[in-house]
Amino acid sequence: MPCDKSALLEFLEVINDDLTRKITLVAAGGTAMTLLDLKPSTIDIDFTIPAVDRVEFEQVLKNNPPG
């Protein structure tokens, strides 16, 4: 099911609430284009993340799967 900008922002808020520290998360592909209002939605959610933040993000993501 496609995700529009509001769904992506809601997902990011949920993730942010569970983080124990600030991390760097960079939207890529259709996710970035949707957040920048260049397309109405994306089918998948793509991010790139520095290695130092990966464990934190994966732990939070495990507790809050997209969808």
Predicted pLDDT at 63: 87
Contact by Cβ (8 Å): 8, 67: no
What is the pTM (predicted TM-score) of this model?
0.84
Pure H helices in 1-67: 5-18, 29-35, 51-63
Q: Into how many domains does the chain fold?
A: 1
pLDDT at 6 over 90: yes
Predicted pLDDT at 10: 92
pLDDT tens for 9-66 read 999 999 999 999 999 999 999 999 999 999 999 999 999 999 999 999 999 989 887 6
Predicted pLDDT at 66: 62
Which domain, by its residues, includes 32? 3-63
